[in-house]
Amino acid sequence: MIPNVDLAIGHIPNIYDPNDFFIVPLNPLPAITYTIDDFRAGRVYRIRAYIKNIGSTQVDNIKTFADIRSDDGRILVSQETQPFSLNVNQEALVTFYLPYKTPGNNKLNVHAEYLGNIGYTLSASLNCP
C-alpha cells in the first residue's frame, strides 16, 4: 500500500526503488471540439459553430468556413472567419448568415479547420431542406 503523502507528478515514494520506474514526459497538446446547428429563416441560413479547446495548450490559427453547395459541388455562397486563437478550455461561437437563393436539393456544408502545425480538419455537413 502506498503511504498517504503528497507527491508531485513524477516523484516516486521512497518505499519504491527508482530503478523500477521510468518517467514519461507529458507534452502539452492542442485539441478542439466542434459542433454546429442551423436555422433557416426564409432565404437565409443562420449557421452557428461552437468551438472549444479541450487540449492542454493554446490553439492558434483556427479558421472557420461555411458554404452552400449545389448537388454537383459548386459553391453557391460562402463565408469565412479571420484566423483566431483559443486558450485552454476557452470556447468560441461563430455565427454565419448565408443567403440561400437557389431552390432544389442542395447541400449545406460547414467546417472548421485548424491551420497550425498539427494540421487536422474538423467538418460537419447538413442537407438543405
Q: Strands, DSSP E only, in the chain? A: 32-41, 44-53, 59-69, 75-80, 84-86, 91-99, 107-114, 121-127
User: Cell 470556447, residue?
Assistant: 91
Are 13 and 1 in contact by the 8 Å Cβ rule? The answer is: no
81 grid coordinates: 472567419
Between 5-9, 49-53, 80-84, the lowest mean confidence (pLDDT) is in 5-9
pLDDT band at 87 (very low <50, low <70, confident <90, very high): very high
User: Cell 461552437, residue?
Assistant: 50
Spatial separation of the C-alpha atoms in residues 105 and 21, rounded to whole Å: 61
Fold for the domain defined by 31-127: Immunoglobulin-like (2.60.40)
Q: What is the pLDDT of residue 95?
A: 93
- Counting residues of the chain whose pLDDT is more than 90, the rounded percentage is 12
What are the extents of the domains in the chain?
Answer: 31-127
Model-level pTM?
Answer: 0.67
